[in-house]
Amino acid sequence: VSVDPRSDRPIYRQVADILRDQITNGTLAPGAMLPSEKALADTYGIGRDAARQAIAVLRSEGLVRTDKGHGTAVRAEGGRRALELVSGESVIARMPTESERYSLNLDEGVPVLVVHSVDGAALYSAEEIYITVR
């Protein structure tokens, strides 16, 4: 479990791979804290920049959540509820604008669903919803 600076693969991606493995195999369970940036830098003999980038990769994948002054934790998979789509409605998925992310209080790496009906459009966190047919 180490990084190779001579590899074609950037070291920040190598570190991201290691952490992603630990998340998917359960070594880092939902809610668990990742090592701090400094701890990662010391462990793998890399700069803080590379450690930060590794965590940023996981954040953009929606796998972890970072709180300033606290640290980075594995995101728990929130339970989803069914959204029943009826004839005449349509849905698109996209990334939120910054203001949408703020008002819906979304973490990074979480898409939104826009449901269009005759009444207009409604916005949901994509993470809380799965779509079915009535």
Partner DNA sequence: GGTCATTTGTACGTATGTATT
Partner DNA sequence: GAATACATACGTACAAATGAC
Give the interface with a copy of itself as residue ranges (CB under 8 A). Answer: 57, 60-62, 80, 82, 85-98, 108-111, 113, 126-127, 129-134
Q: DSSP letters along the chain, please?
A: ----TTSSS-HHHHHHHHHHHHHHTTSS-TTPBPPPHHHHHHHHT--HHHHHHHHHHHHHTTSEEEETTTEEEEPP-PPPEEEEE-TT-EEEEEPPPHHHHHHTTPPTT--EEEEEETTEEEEEEGGGEEEEE-
CB of 67 to DNA, least distance (A): 6
* Contact between 73 and 64 (Cβ < 8 Å): yes
CA distance 86 to 81: 16
Nearer to a copy of itself, 7 or 90 (CB): 90
52 binds DNA (CB under 7 A): yes
CB of 27 to a copy of itself, least distance (A): 18
CB of 72 to DNA, least distance (A): 5
71 binds DNA (CB under 7 A): yes
CB of 52 to DNA, least distance (A): 6
Q: Hey, which residues between 7 and 26 contact DNA (CB under 7 A)?
A: 10-13
User: How many binding residues for DNA (CB under 7 A)?
Assistant: 26
Q: Can you give the binding site for DNA, defined by CB under 7 A?
A: 5, 10-13, 34, 36-39, 41, 45-50, 52-53, 66-72
